[in-house]
Homo-oligomer: A and B are copies of this chain.
Amino acid sequence: MPARSTRHVTILEVAREARASKTSVSRYFGDERERLSRELQGRIASAAKRLGYRPNQMARSLKGGHSRLIGMLVADIRNPFSVAVMHGVEQACRASGYSLLACNTDNDPAQESAHLSVLASYRVEGLVINATGSPHGALQAVIDRGTPLVLLDREVDRVDADVVGLDNPRAIDMALEHLAERGYRELLYITEPPEEASSRQRRMARFQTRLDDFGLTGESLCLPLTGGTGIPHDAIAAFLNRPGAAPKALLCANGKITLAVTRTLQALGVRLGETGLMGIDELDWCELVAPGITTLAQPTEAIGRAAVECLMQRRETQRHPSPPRHIHYQPVLIPRGSTQR
Q: Which residues of A contact B (CB under 8 A)?
A: 2, 5-8, 52, 54-59, 61-62, 67, 77-78, 80, 83-84, 86-87, 90, 99-104, 117-118, 120-123, 141, 144-146, 259, 262-263, 266, 283-285, 287-290
Contact of A62 among B58, B78, B103 (CB under 8 A): B58
- Residues of B contacting A287 with CB < 8 Å? 263
Q: A67-B58, A285-B288 are in contact. Are A99 and B103 (CB under 8 A)?
A: yes
Cα–Cα distance between A84 and B77 once the two chains are bound (Å): 8
Determine whether the beta carbon of B262 is less than 8 Å from that of A121.
no
Instruction: Give 6 A-B contacts (CB < 8 Å), ordered by A residue.
Output: A8-B145, A57-B123, A90-B104, A266-B290, A284-B285, A285-B288
A146 to B284 Cα, complex, angstroms: 41
Q: A27 CB to closest chain B CB, in angstroms?
A: 18
Min distance, Cβ A122 to any Cβ of chain B, angstroms: 5
Q: In the bound complex, how far is the Cα of B52 from the Cα of A289, in angstroms?
A: 52
Task: Kindly identify which residue among B7, B99, B123 contacts A118, using a CB–CB cutoff of 8 Å.
Answer: B99
B90 touches A83 (CB 8 A): no
Q: Which 4 A-B pairs have the closest CB atoms?
A: A285-B285, A5-B144, A58-B61, A57-B121
A141-B62 in contact (CB<8A): no
- Which residues does chain B contribute within 8 Å of A283, judged by CB atoms? 284-285
In the complex formed, the residue of B with least CB distance to A143 is B5
Alpha-carbon distance A265/B285, docked complex (angstroms): 14
Assess A7 versus B289: contact at CB under 8 Å? Given A57-B122, A77-B86, A87-B77: no
Q: Which of B58, B104, B259 contacts A123 (CB 8 A)?
A: B58
Instruction: Tell me the smallest distance from the CB of A215 to a CB of chain B, in Å.
Output: 32
